[in-house]
Structure 1
Protein backbone atom coordinates (compact mmCIF):
# COMPACT_ATOMS: atom_id res chain seq x y z
CA UNK A 1 0.00 0.00 0.00
CA UNK A 2 1.14 3.55 -0.71
CA UNK A 3 0.19 6.43 1.53
CA UNK A 4 1.00 10.03 0.70
CA UNK A 5 0.14 13.41 2.15
CA UNK A 6 0.74 15.15 -1.19
CA UNK A 7 -2.34 16.32 -3.05
CA UNK A 8 -3.05 16.74 -6.78
CA UNK A 9 -1.27 20.12 -6.83
CA UNK A 10 1.86 18.74 -5.20
CA UNK A 11 1.09 20.32 -1.84
CA UNK A 12 2.13 18.41 1.29
CA UNK A 13 -0.40 18.29 4.13
CA UNK A 14 0.68 17.48 7.69
CA UNK A 15 -1.55 15.36 9.97
CA UNK A 16 -4.66 17.37 10.75
CA UNK A 17 -5.20 16.35 14.35
CA UNK A 18 -8.52 15.56 16.06
CA UNK A 19 -9.76 19.16 16.04
CA UNK A 20 -9.75 19.58 12.26
CA UNK A 21 -12.73 21.47 10.88
CA UNK A 22 -13.36 20.43 7.29
CA UNK A 23 -15.21 22.26 4.52
CA UNK A 24 -15.99 20.27 1.39
CA UNK A 25 -16.79 22.06 -1.86
CA UNK A 26 -17.10 18.78 -3.79
CA UNK A 27 -20.21 16.54 -3.53
CA UNK A 28 -18.28 13.29 -3.97
CA UNK A 29 -15.82 14.24 -1.26
CA UNK A 30 -18.54 15.24 1.21
CA UNK A 31 -19.97 11.74 0.86
CA UNK A 32 -16.50 10.24 1.22
CA UNK A 33 -15.91 12.05 4.52
CA UNK A 34 -18.87 10.23 6.07
CA UNK A 35 -17.61 6.89 4.73
CA UNK A 36 -14.28 7.60 6.43
CA UNK A 37 -15.99 8.41 9.74
CA UNK A 38 -15.28 12.14 9.46
CA UNK A 39 -18.83 13.40 9.19
CA UNK A 40 -18.79 15.07 12.61
CA UNK A 41 -15.82 17.20 11.48
CA UNK A 42 -17.54 18.50 8.34
CA UNK A 43 -18.52 22.12 9.07
CA UNK A 44 -19.48 23.35 5.58
CA UNK A 45 -20.61 22.01 2.22
CA UNK A 46 -22.12 23.13 -1.09
CA UNK A 47 -25.81 22.87 -1.89
CA UNK A 48 -24.84 20.20 -4.46
CA UNK A 49 -23.58 17.98 -1.62
CA UNK A 50 -26.64 15.77 -1.20
CA UNK A 51 -25.35 12.40 0.06
CA UNK A 52 -25.86 11.22 2.73
CA UNK A 53 -28.98 13.36 2.87
CA UNK A 54 -30.00 12.98 6.52
CA UNK A 55 -26.53 13.70 7.88
CA UNK A 56 -25.83 16.60 5.52
CA UNK A 57 -29.06 18.35 6.46
CA UNK A 58 -27.32 19.54 9.62
CA UNK A 59 -24.23 20.85 7.79
CA UNK A 60 -24.37 24.51 6.65
CA UNK A 61 -24.30 25.18 2.92
CA UNK A 62 -22.05 27.99 1.71
CA UNK A 63 -23.04 28.06 -1.98
CA UNK A 64 -22.08 26.15 -5.10
CA UNK A 65 -18.89 24.58 -6.39
CA UNK A 66 -17.79 27.66 -8.32
CA UNK A 67 -19.15 30.52 -6.23
CA UNK A 68 -19.58 30.58 -2.47
CA UNK A 69 -20.44 32.92 0.38
CA UNK A 70 -16.95 33.61 1.72
CA UNK A 71 -18.18 35.53 4.75
CA UNK A 72 -20.32 32.59 5.82
CA UNK A 73 -17.57 30.05 5.27
CA UNK A 74 -14.98 32.14 7.11
CA UNK A 75 -17.34 32.40 10.11
CA UNK A 76 -17.38 28.58 10.30
CA UNK A 77 -13.58 28.67 10.80
CA UNK A 78 -12.53 25.66 8.69
CA UNK A 79 -8.97 24.44 9.08
CA UNK A 80 -9.15 22.43 5.84
CA UNK A 81 -11.11 22.75 2.61
CA UNK A 82 -11.47 19.94 0.05
CA UNK A 83 -11.36 20.97 -3.62
CA UNK A 84 -11.27 19.34 -7.04
CA UNK A 85 -9.47 20.61 -10.13
CA UNK A 86 -12.48 20.01 -12.40
CA UNK A 87 -15.24 21.18 -10.08
CA UNK A 88 -13.69 24.23 -8.42
CA UNK A 89 -11.86 27.15 -10.02
CA UNK A 90 -8.33 28.37 -9.43
CA UNK A 91 -9.79 31.77 -8.58
CA UNK A 92 -11.90 30.22 -5.82
CA UNK A 93 -8.92 28.33 -4.46
CA UNK A 94 -6.86 31.53 -4.34
CA UNK A 95 -9.65 33.33 -2.47
CA UNK A 96 -9.85 30.53 0.09
CA UNK A 97 -6.12 30.80 0.76
CA UNK A 98 -6.79 34.06 2.59
CA UNK A 99 -8.56 32.34 5.48
CA UNK A 100 -8.35 28.52 5.24
CA UNK A 101 -4.95 27.16 6.35
CA UNK A 102 -5.06 23.93 4.33
CA UNK A 103 -6.54 23.52 0.83
CA UNK A 104 -6.50 19.85 -0.22
CA UNK A 105 -6.85 19.61 -4.00
CA UNK A 106 -7.98 16.36 -5.62
CA UNK A 107 -8.23 15.15 -9.21
CA UNK A 108 -9.33 11.52 -9.71
CA UNK A 109 -9.46 10.86 -13.46
CA UNK A 110 -10.20 7.11 -13.43
CA UNK A 111 -11.75 4.57 -11.03
CA UNK A 112 -8.34 3.32 -9.87
CA UNK A 113 -7.40 6.87 -8.82
CA UNK A 114 -9.76 6.46 -5.88
CA UNK A 115 -7.18 4.32 -4.09
CA UNK A 116 -4.82 7.30 -3.80
CA UNK A 117 -7.72 9.57 -2.86
CA UNK A 118 -8.84 7.32 0.01
CA UNK A 119 -5.30 7.03 1.30
CA UNK A 120 -4.58 10.76 1.03
CA UNK A 121 -7.55 11.70 3.21
CA UNK A 122 -6.97 8.68 5.42
CA UNK A 123 -3.45 9.80 6.22
CA UNK A 124 -4.22 13.49 6.67
CA UNK A 125 -7.24 12.89 8.93
CA UNK A 126 -6.05 9.76 10.75
CA UNK A 127 -8.45 7.36 9.07
CA UNK A 128 -5.99 4.91 7.50
CA UNK A 129 -7.91 1.79 8.55
CA UNK A 130 -11.13 3.17 7.08
CA UNK A 131 -9.27 4.12 3.90
CA UNK A 132 -7.91 0.60 3.54
CA UNK A 133 -11.39 -0.86 3.96
CA UNK A 134 -12.60 1.28 1.08
CA UNK A 135 -9.60 0.28 -1.02
CA UNK A 136 -10.30 -3.40 -0.41
CA UNK A 137 -13.94 -2.98 -1.34
CA UNK A 138 -13.14 -1.13 -4.55
CA UNK A 139 -10.43 -3.61 -5.52
CA UNK A 140 -12.85 -6.50 -5.13
CA UNK A 141 -15.45 -4.80 -7.31
CA UNK A 142 -12.98 -3.84 -10.04
CA UNK A 143 -11.69 -7.41 -10.17
CA UNK A 144 -15.26 -8.65 -10.62
CA UNK A 145 -15.77 -6.14 -13.42
CA UNK A 146 -12.50 -7.03 -15.14
CA UNK A 147 -13.13 -10.77 -14.87
CA UNK A 148 -15.94 -10.56 -17.40
CA UNK A 149 -15.27 -10.26 -21.13
CA UNK A 150 -17.19 -7.26 -22.38
CA UNK A 151 -17.96 -6.69 -26.05
CA UNK A 152 -16.46 -3.47 -27.38
CA UNK A 153 -18.99 -0.73 -28.09
CA UNK A 154 -19.11 2.91 -29.05
CA UNK A 155 -21.45 4.98 -26.91
CA UNK A 156 -22.69 8.54 -27.12
CA UNK A 157 -22.96 9.77 -23.52
CA UNK A 158 -25.16 12.87 -23.30
CA UNK A 159 -24.95 15.22 -20.31
CA UNK A 160 -26.87 18.25 -21.62
CA UNK A 161 -29.31 19.46 -24.25
CA UNK A 162 -29.77 22.84 -25.96
CA UNK A 163 -26.95 22.59 -26.78
CA UNK A 164 -26.22 18.88 -26.84
CA UNK A 165 -23.10 18.09 -24.83
CA UNK A 166 -21.16 14.87 -24.40
CA UNK A 167 -18.00 13.67 -22.64
CA UNK A 168 -14.54 13.30 -24.10
CA UNK A 169 -12.10 10.44 -23.62
CA UNK A 170 -10.13 12.34 -20.97
CA UNK A 171 -12.83 12.22 -18.28
CA UNK A 172 -13.62 10.07 -15.27
CA UNK A 173 -16.88 9.03 -16.95
CA UNK A 174 -15.14 7.82 -20.09
CA UNK A 175 -12.60 5.85 -18.10
CA UNK A 176 -15.36 4.25 -16.05
CA UNK A 177 -17.10 3.13 -19.23
CA UNK A 178 -13.83 1.80 -20.65
CA UNK A 179 -13.83 -0.80 -17.86
CA UNK A 180 -16.74 -2.52 -19.64
CA UNK A 181 -15.28 -2.05 -23.12
CA UNK A 182 -17.31 1.04 -24.00
CA UNK A 183 -15.64 3.85 -25.89
CA UNK A 184 -17.20 7.30 -25.64
CA UNK A 185 -17.89 8.84 -29.02
CA UNK A 186 -17.16 11.20 -30.75
CA UNK A 187 -13.58 11.71 -29.64
CA UNK A 188 -12.53 15.32 -30.36
CA UNK A 189 -8.98 16.17 -29.38
CA UNK A 190 -8.39 18.21 -26.21
CA UNK A 191 -12.09 18.72 -25.47
CA UNK A 192 -13.38 17.15 -22.28
CA UNK A 193 -17.06 18.16 -22.46
CA UNK A 194 -17.74 19.07 -26.09
CA UNK A 195 -20.82 20.57 -27.64
CA UNK A 196 -21.94 18.25 -30.42
CA UNK A 197 -24.42 18.10 -33.25
CA UNK A 198 -26.71 15.09 -33.43
CA UNK A 199 -26.47 13.90 -37.02
CA UNK A 200 -27.49 10.70 -38.81
CA UNK A 201 -23.79 9.99 -39.37
CA UNK A 202 -22.97 10.28 -35.67
CA UNK A 203 -25.86 8.03 -34.68
CA UNK A 204 -24.77 5.48 -37.27
CA UNK A 205 -21.32 5.36 -35.68
CA UNK A 206 -22.48 4.46 -32.16
CA UNK A 207 -24.09 1.37 -30.67
CA UNK A 208 -25.85 3.07 -27.75
CA UNK A 209 -26.93 6.56 -26.78
CA UNK A 210 -26.76 7.08 -23.02
CA UNK A 211 -28.77 9.88 -21.38
CA UNK A 212 -27.32 10.85 -18.01
CA UNK A 213 -29.32 11.84 -14.95
CA UNK A 214 -26.89 14.71 -14.30
CA UNK A 215 -26.05 17.51 -14.76
CA UNK A 216 -29.14 17.58 -17.01
CA UNK A 217 -31.78 15.25 -15.65
CA UNK A 218 -32.89 13.33 -18.73
CA UNK A 219 -36.14 11.38 -18.44
CA UNK A 220 -37.99 8.71 -20.39
CA UNK A 221 -39.86 11.50 -22.17
CA UNK A 222 -36.55 12.82 -23.52
CA UNK A 223 -35.75 9.40 -24.97
CA UNK A 224 -39.15 9.21 -26.63
CA UNK A 225 -38.70 12.67 -28.15
CA UNK A 226 -35.16 11.83 -29.29
CA UNK A 227 -36.32 8.65 -31.01
CA UNK A 228 -39.19 10.48 -32.71
CA UNK A 229 -37.08 13.39 -33.96
CA UNK A 230 -33.93 11.52 -34.99
CA UNK A 231 -35.32 8.19 -36.12
CA UNK A 232 -32.95 6.41 -33.75
CA UNK A 233 -34.32 3.02 -32.69
CA UNK A 234 -35.61 3.15 -29.09
CA UNK A 235 -33.73 -0.01 -28.10
CA UNK A 236 -30.45 1.88 -28.65
CA UNK A 237 -31.37 4.56 -26.11
CA UNK A 238 -30.77 4.19 -22.36
CA UNK A 239 -31.13 6.31 -19.24
CA UNK A 240 -28.03 6.03 -17.06
CA UNK A 241 -27.41 7.15 -13.47
CA UNK A 242 -24.87 9.96 -13.73
CA UNK A 243 -23.93 9.79 -10.07
CA UNK A 244 -22.84 6.18 -10.51
CA UNK A 245 -20.60 6.95 -13.47
CA UNK A 246 -19.18 10.36 -12.52
CA UNK A 247 -18.95 10.47 -8.71
CA UNK A 248 -15.62 9.29 -7.35
CA UNK A 249 -14.88 8.75 -3.65
CA UNK A 250 -16.91 6.18 -1.75
CA UNK A 251 -19.63 6.27 -4.44
CA UNK A 252 -17.18 4.50 -6.74
CA UNK A 253 -17.87 1.18 -4.98
CA UNK A 254 -21.58 1.30 -5.74
CA UNK A 255 -20.78 2.84 -9.12
CA UNK A 256 -18.67 -0.11 -10.25
CA UNK A 257 -21.39 -2.56 -9.21
CA UNK A 258 -24.00 -0.44 -10.99
CA UNK A 259 -21.93 -0.29 -14.18
CA UNK A 260 -21.43 -4.08 -14.14
CA UNK A 261 -25.18 -4.70 -13.95
CA UNK A 262 -26.04 -1.90 -16.41
CA UNK A 263 -23.60 -3.15 -19.04
CA UNK A 264 -24.70 -6.74 -18.55
CA UNK A 265 -28.31 -5.72 -19.16
CA UNK A 266 -27.24 -4.01 -22.41
CA UNK A 267 -25.30 -7.01 -23.65
Structure 2
Protein backbone atom coordinates (compact mmCIF):
# COMPACT_ATOMS: atom_id res chain seq x y z
CA UNK A 1 0.00 0.00 0.00
CA UNK A 2 1.29 3.46 -0.85
CA UNK A 3 0.76 6.41 1.47
CA UNK A 4 1.55 10.10 1.14
CA UNK A 5 2.96 12.23 3.95
CA UNK A 6 3.96 15.90 4.24
CA UNK A 7 7.23 16.59 6.04
CA UNK A 8 8.00 19.58 8.27
CA UNK A 9 9.39 21.60 5.35
CA UNK A 10 6.13 21.20 3.41
CA UNK A 11 7.38 18.53 1.00
CA UNK A 12 4.99 15.74 0.00
CA UNK A 13 6.45 12.24 -0.22
CA UNK A 14 4.84 8.96 -1.26
CA UNK A 15 6.23 5.51 -0.44
CA UNK A 16 5.21 1.90 0.18
CA UNK A 17 3.74 1.74 3.67
CA UNK A 18 5.00 0.78 6.14
CA UNK A 19 8.59 1.36 5.00
CA UNK A 20 10.88 -1.69 5.09
CA UNK A 21 14.21 -0.10 4.11
CA UNK A 22 14.90 3.09 6.09
CA UNK A 23 18.05 5.22 6.03
CA UNK A 24 18.30 7.59 9.01
CA UNK A 25 20.79 10.45 8.71
CA UNK A 26 20.32 12.12 12.12
CA UNK A 27 21.60 10.47 15.33
CA UNK A 28 18.74 11.43 17.65
CA UNK A 29 16.14 10.29 15.12
CA UNK A 30 18.04 7.03 14.54
CA UNK A 31 17.88 6.27 18.25
CA UNK A 32 14.16 7.10 18.18
CA UNK A 33 13.54 4.59 15.39
CA UNK A 34 15.20 1.84 17.40
CA UNK A 35 13.27 2.84 20.54
CA UNK A 36 10.04 2.65 18.53
CA UNK A 37 10.81 -1.02 18.03
CA UNK A 38 12.35 -0.98 14.56
CA UNK A 39 15.45 -3.05 13.82
CA UNK A 40 15.70 -4.78 10.46
CA UNK A 41 13.87 -1.87 8.83
CA UNK A 42 16.74 0.54 9.61
CA UNK A 43 19.38 -0.40 7.04
CA UNK A 44 21.65 2.68 6.99
CA UNK A 45 22.83 5.17 9.62
CA UNK A 46 25.54 7.82 9.99
CA UNK A 47 28.84 7.33 11.80
CA UNK A 48 27.45 9.57 14.56
CA UNK A 49 24.35 7.41 15.21
CA UNK A 50 26.02 5.74 18.18
CA UNK A 51 22.96 4.87 20.29
CA UNK A 52 22.27 2.11 21.02
CA UNK A 53 25.81 0.89 20.48
CA UNK A 54 24.83 -2.69 19.63
CA UNK A 55 22.66 -1.42 16.76
CA UNK A 56 25.40 0.97 15.63
CA UNK A 57 27.84 -1.89 15.26
CA UNK A 58 25.54 -3.93 13.02
CA UNK A 59 24.28 -1.29 10.58
CA UNK A 60 25.75 0.08 7.34
CA UNK A 61 27.38 3.51 7.88
CA UNK A 62 26.63 6.08 5.18
CA UNK A 63 29.02 8.88 6.19
CA UNK A 64 28.46 11.85 8.49
CA UNK A 65 25.36 13.98 8.90
CA UNK A 66 26.78 16.76 6.72
CA UNK A 67 28.96 14.60 4.45
CA UNK A 68 26.83 11.70 3.30
CA UNK A 69 28.17 8.93 1.11
CA UNK A 70 25.53 9.21 -1.59
CA UNK A 71 26.66 6.15 -3.53
CA UNK A 72 26.40 4.00 -0.40
CA UNK A 73 22.85 5.27 0.13
CA UNK A 74 22.00 4.47 -3.49
CA UNK A 75 23.36 0.95 -3.05
CA UNK A 76 21.03 0.42 -0.08
CA UNK A 77 17.95 1.30 -2.20
CA UNK A 78 15.96 2.81 0.70
CA UNK A 79 12.23 3.27 0.46
CA UNK A 80 12.44 6.11 3.02
CA UNK A 81 15.17 8.51 4.19
CA UNK A 82 14.64 10.52 7.40
CA UNK A 83 16.67 13.71 7.95
CA UNK A 84 16.65 17.15 9.58
CA UNK A 85 16.95 20.66 8.15
CA UNK A 86 19.66 21.86 10.53
CA UNK A 87 21.76 18.72 10.80
CA UNK A 88 21.94 17.75 7.14
CA UNK A 89 23.38 19.58 4.11
CA UNK A 90 20.74 21.12 1.84
CA UNK A 91 22.48 20.25 -1.43
CA UNK A 92 22.86 16.60 -0.46
CA UNK A 93 19.24 16.40 0.64
CA UNK A 94 18.07 17.95 -2.64
CA UNK A 95 20.08 15.35 -4.56
CA UNK A 96 18.56 12.50 -2.55
CA UNK A 97 15.06 13.93 -2.97
CA UNK A 98 15.37 13.48 -6.74
CA UNK A 99 15.84 9.74 -6.26
CA UNK A 100 14.15 8.70 -2.99
CA UNK A 101 11.32 9.71 -0.62
CA UNK A 102 13.04 11.98 1.94
CA UNK A 103 11.15 13.15 5.05
CA UNK A 104 12.68 16.15 6.84
CA UNK A 105 12.12 17.44 10.37
CA UNK A 106 12.64 21.04 11.50
CA UNK A 107 12.89 21.34 15.28
CA UNK A 108 13.54 24.39 17.49
CA UNK A 109 11.86 23.51 20.79
CA UNK A 110 10.52 20.69 22.94
CA UNK A 111 6.99 21.01 21.59
CA UNK A 112 8.24 20.54 18.03
CA UNK A 113 10.30 17.55 19.19
CA UNK A 114 7.16 15.91 20.60
CA UNK A 115 5.33 16.61 17.34
CA UNK A 116 8.20 15.03 15.42
CA UNK A 117 8.10 11.87 17.53
CA UNK A 118 4.37 11.61 16.78
CA UNK A 119 4.92 12.13 13.05
CA UNK A 120 7.82 9.68 12.79
CA UNK A 121 5.70 7.16 14.68
CA UNK A 122 3.05 7.58 11.98
CA UNK A 123 5.66 7.33 9.20
CA UNK A 124 6.88 3.93 10.40
CA UNK A 125 3.59 2.54 11.75
CA UNK A 126 4.54 2.78 15.42
CA UNK A 127 1.89 5.22 16.69
CA UNK A 128 1.24 3.62 20.13
CA UNK A 129 4.95 3.41 20.87
CA UNK A 130 5.44 7.06 19.89
CA UNK A 131 2.51 8.14 22.09
CA UNK A 132 4.04 6.34 25.08
CA UNK A 133 7.45 7.96 24.59
CA UNK A 134 5.79 11.37 24.32
CA UNK A 135 3.84 10.75 27.51
CA UNK A 136 7.06 10.04 29.42
CA UNK A 137 8.84 13.08 27.97
CA UNK A 138 5.94 15.50 28.48
CA UNK A 139 5.39 14.36 32.08
CA UNK A 140 9.08 14.62 32.90
CA UNK A 141 9.55 18.10 31.49
CA UNK A 142 6.37 19.33 33.15
CA UNK A 143 7.90 18.24 36.47
CA UNK A 144 11.21 19.93 35.58
CA UNK A 145 9.42 23.22 34.91
CA UNK A 146 7.48 22.95 38.16
CA UNK A 147 10.68 22.28 40.09
CA UNK A 148 12.42 25.25 38.46
CA UNK A 149 9.74 27.51 39.90
CA UNK A 150 9.53 25.85 43.32
CA UNK A 151 13.33 25.79 43.73
CA UNK A 152 13.67 29.35 42.44
CA UNK A 153 16.13 28.45 39.69
CA UNK A 154 16.75 31.48 37.48
CA UNK A 155 20.50 31.76 36.94
CA UNK A 156 21.88 33.36 33.80
CA UNK A 157 23.84 30.96 31.59
CA UNK A 158 25.93 30.80 28.43
CA UNK A 159 26.11 27.48 26.58
CA UNK A 160 29.32 26.89 24.61
CA UNK A 161 29.23 24.50 21.66
CA UNK A 162 32.56 25.26 19.90
CA UNK A 163 36.09 26.53 20.44
CA UNK A 164 38.39 28.54 18.10
CA UNK A 165 36.25 30.50 17.61
CA UNK A 166 34.02 30.29 20.65
CA UNK A 167 30.44 29.66 19.51
CA UNK A 168 27.35 29.66 21.68
CA UNK A 169 23.79 28.36 21.51
CA UNK A 170 21.60 31.43 21.01
CA UNK A 171 17.90 32.06 20.60
CA UNK A 172 15.74 30.01 18.26
CA UNK A 173 17.63 26.80 19.06
CA UNK A 174 16.54 23.59 20.74
CA UNK A 175 19.28 24.02 23.35
CA UNK A 176 17.96 27.47 24.27
CA UNK A 177 14.47 26.04 24.81
CA UNK A 178 15.75 23.25 27.06
CA UNK A 179 17.71 25.77 29.15
CA UNK A 180 14.54 27.78 29.63
CA UNK A 181 12.51 24.68 30.47
CA UNK A 182 14.76 24.00 33.48
CA UNK A 183 14.65 27.60 34.69
CA UNK A 184 17.82 29.10 33.20
CA UNK A 185 18.12 32.41 31.32
CA UNK A 186 20.31 32.32 28.22
CA UNK A 187 22.44 35.49 28.11
CA UNK A 188 23.07 35.07 24.36
CA UNK A 189 20.38 37.15 22.70
CA UNK A 190 21.46 36.59 19.09
CA UNK A 191 19.76 33.89 17.05
CA UNK A 192 21.23 30.47 16.24
CA UNK A 193 24.95 29.95 17.02
CA UNK A 194 26.83 33.26 17.21
CA UNK A 195 30.55 33.72 17.81
CA UNK A 196 31.65 35.58 20.96
CA UNK A 197 35.01 36.26 22.54
CA UNK A 198 35.42 35.63 26.26
CA UNK A 199 35.91 39.38 26.67
CA UNK A 200 32.51 40.00 25.08
CA UNK A 201 30.99 37.30 27.27
CA UNK A 202 32.24 39.14 30.39
CA UNK A 203 29.90 42.00 29.57
CA UNK A 204 26.84 39.71 29.86
CA UNK A 205 27.55 39.12 33.57
CA UNK A 206 26.47 35.48 33.26
CA UNK A 207 26.79 33.34 36.39
CA UNK A 208 26.99 29.95 34.69
CA UNK A 209 28.90 28.72 31.66
CA UNK A 210 28.10 25.28 30.30
CA UNK A 211 30.72 23.56 28.14
CA UNK A 212 29.01 21.01 25.94
CA UNK A 213 30.46 17.58 25.17
CA UNK A 214 29.39 18.02 21.53
CA UNK A 215 29.85 19.04 18.78
CA UNK A 216 33.15 20.27 20.26
CA UNK A 217 34.41 17.83 22.91
CA UNK A 218 35.08 20.20 25.78
CA UNK A 219 37.16 18.64 28.58
CA UNK A 220 38.37 19.53 32.08
CA UNK A 221 41.36 21.48 30.75
CA UNK A 222 39.04 23.95 29.04
CA UNK A 223 37.38 24.87 32.33
CA UNK A 224 40.56 26.49 33.65
CA UNK A 225 41.13 28.88 30.74
CA UNK A 226 37.52 30.08 30.86
CA UNK A 227 37.61 30.50 34.65
CA UNK A 228 40.66 32.75 34.26
CA UNK A 229 38.76 34.99 31.83
CA UNK A 230 35.49 34.92 33.81
CA UNK A 231 36.39 34.41 37.49
CA UNK A 232 32.89 35.28 38.72
CA UNK A 233 31.16 32.56 36.70
CA UNK A 234 30.79 28.88 37.54
CA UNK A 235 32.05 26.79 34.60
CA UNK A 236 30.65 23.28 34.19
CA UNK A 237 30.95 20.45 31.67
CA UNK A 238 27.55 19.18 30.49
CA UNK A 239 26.39 16.26 28.36
CA UNK A 240 25.48 17.77 25.01
CA UNK A 241 23.22 14.85 24.09
CA UNK A 242 20.94 15.74 27.00
CA UNK A 243 20.46 19.27 25.70
CA UNK A 244 20.40 18.75 21.94
CA UNK A 245 19.14 15.26 21.04
CA UNK A 246 15.44 15.70 20.37
CA UNK A 247 14.29 12.08 20.04
CA UNK A 248 13.71 9.41 22.66
CA UNK A 249 16.93 10.43 24.47
CA UNK A 250 14.77 13.15 26.00
CA UNK A 251 13.52 10.48 28.42
CA UNK A 252 17.07 10.03 29.73
CA UNK A 253 17.52 13.81 29.62
CA UNK A 254 14.76 14.28 32.21
CA UNK A 255 16.70 12.37 34.87
CA UNK A 256 19.95 14.12 33.93
CA UNK A 257 18.32 17.55 34.15
CA UNK A 258 16.69 16.74 37.51
CA UNK A 259 20.17 16.12 38.95
CA UNK A 260 21.50 19.26 37.27
CA UNK A 261 18.75 21.34 38.87
CA UNK A 262 19.70 19.91 42.28
CA UNK A 263 23.34 20.89 41.68
CA UNK A 264 22.31 24.42 40.78
CA UNK A 265 20.24 24.78 43.94
CA UNK A 266 23.03 23.46 46.17
CA UNK A 267 25.61 25.75 44.59
Q: Fold match, TM over 0.5? A: yes
Partner SS, residue 216 of structure 2? coil
The runs of 5 or more residues in structure 1 that have no matched partner are: none
Partner SS, residue 198 of structure 2? coil
Mapped to 2, the partners of 1:242 and 1:177 lie a distance apart of 12
Q: Which protein is richer in strand relative to its size?
A: 2
| CA shift in 2, pair 1:200/1:127, >3 Å | closer
Partner SS, residue 196 of structure 1? coil
Deviation, structure 1 residue 161: 1.1
- What whole-Å deviation, never above 9, does each CA across 1:224-244 have from its counterpart, x for those lacking one? 23223x1514x7111111000
Q: Which residue does 2:221 correspond to in 1?
A: 221
Note if contact 1:16-1:125 (Cα within 8 Å) is conserved in structure 2.
Answer: no
Mapped to 2, the partners of 1:20 and 1:82 lie a distance apart of 13
Alignment RMSD, CA only? 1.9
Q: Which residue does 2:238 correspond to in 1?
A: 240
Mapped to 2, the partners of 1:50 and 1:201 lie a distance apart of 33
Q: Which residue does 1:121 correspond to in 2?
A: 120
Q: Which residue does 1:140 correspond to in 2?
A: 139
| CA shift in 2, pair 1:105/1:193, >3 Å | same
| CA shift in 2, pair 1:93/1:231, >3 Å | closer
The runs of 5 or more residues in structure 2 that have no matched partner are: none
Partner SS, residue 205 of structure 1? coil
Q: Which residue does 1:170 correspond to in 2?
A: 172
| CA shift in 2, pair 1:79/1:153, >3 Å | same
Deviation, structure 1 residue 66: 1.4
Note if contact 2:210-2:237 (Cα within 8 Å) is conserved in structure 1.
Answer: yes
Q: How many residues align?
A: 259
Q: Which residue does 1:82 correspond to in 2?
A: 82
Q: Which residue does 1:25 correspond to in 2?
A: 25
| CA shift in 2, pair 1:133/1:16, >3 Å | farther
TM-score, normalized by length of structure 2?
0.91
Q: Which residue does 2:257 correspond to in 1?
A: 259
Deviation, structure 1 residue 200: 7.0
Partner SS, residue 57 of structure 1? helix
Note if contact 1:157-1:166 (Cα within 8 Å) is conserved in structure 2.
Answer: yes
Note if contact 2:47-2:63 (Cα within 8 Å) is conserved in structure 1.
Answer: yes
Deviation, structure 1 residue 17: 2.5
Note if contact 1:81-1:104 (Cα within 8 Å) is conserved in structure 2.
Answer: yes
Deviation, structure 1 residue 184: 1.5
Mapped to 1, the partners of 2:136 and 2:95 lie a distance apart of 37
TM-score, normalized by length of structure 1?
0.91
Mapped to 1, the partners of 2:110 and 2:200 lie a distance apart of 33
Mapped to 2, the partners of 1:232 and 1:203 lie a distance apart of 13
Q: Which residue does 2:212 correspond to in 1?
A: 212
Mapped to 2, the partners of 1:210 and 1:72 lie a distance apart of 37
| CA shift in 2, pair 1:65/1:200, >3 Å | closer
Decide which moves more: 160-169 or 139-148: 139-148
Given the alignment of the two structures, is residue 154 of structure 1 paired with residue 156 of structure 2, yes or no? yes
| CA shift in 2, pair 1:120/1:192, >3 Å | same
Mapped to 1, the partners of 2:120 and 2:47 lie a distance apart of 22
